[in-house]
């Protein structure tokens, strides 16, 4: 048996978002990658990640927890919801999202950040 302690401030990889609108810190864990994203005010998936992803909407599934700030998510079919501090989130592929308000949104995700914010094909 083992125990592991890691800190996202010393992540295995950091992926910056376009226009300095945040970053994704990724830790490679035994069960797969875990990410902490810091989405700055003004961040929007369709503006700051879409050019990297090369898709019309986010095709990552997300299972995570919002630490601080607020995020608005709109599915391709129009269903929408807001997430804030303390919220568990589970979002299927096919969505856009953006920060609500003037506070960064910080979220931890253990299913959707393995290839998130990487250039298409990378």
Annotated domain spans of the chain: 8-85+100-109
36, two tokens:
């902490």
The predicted pLDDT at position 117 comes to 72
First to last CA, the chain: 34
Pairwise pLDDT comparison (24 vs 112), residue with the higher score: 24
Banded model confidence at residue 77, pLDDT cuts 50, 70, 90: very high
Using a pLDDT cut of 70, give the percent of the chain over it. 96
pLDDT at 121: 38
Please say whether the beta carbons of 108 and 67 come within 8 A: yes
pTM for the complete prediction? 0.90
Beta-carbon count within 10 A of 120 CB:
10
């Amino acid at each position: 048996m083992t125990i592991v302690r890691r800190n996202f401030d010393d992540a295995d990889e950091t992926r910056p978002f376009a226009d300095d609108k945040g970053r994704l810190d990724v830790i490679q864990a035994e069960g797969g990658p875990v990410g902490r994203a810091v989405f700055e005010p003004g961040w929007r998936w369709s503006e700051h990640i879409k050019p990297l992803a090369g898709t019309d909407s986010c095709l990552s599934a997300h299972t995570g927890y919002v630490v601080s700030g607020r995020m608005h998510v709109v599915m391709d079919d129009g269903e929408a919801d807001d997430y804030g501090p303390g919220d568990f989130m589970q979002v299927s592929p096919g969505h856009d999202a953006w920060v609500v308000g003037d506070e960064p949104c910080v979220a931890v995700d253990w299913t959707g950040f393995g290839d998130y914010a990487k250039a298409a094909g990378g």
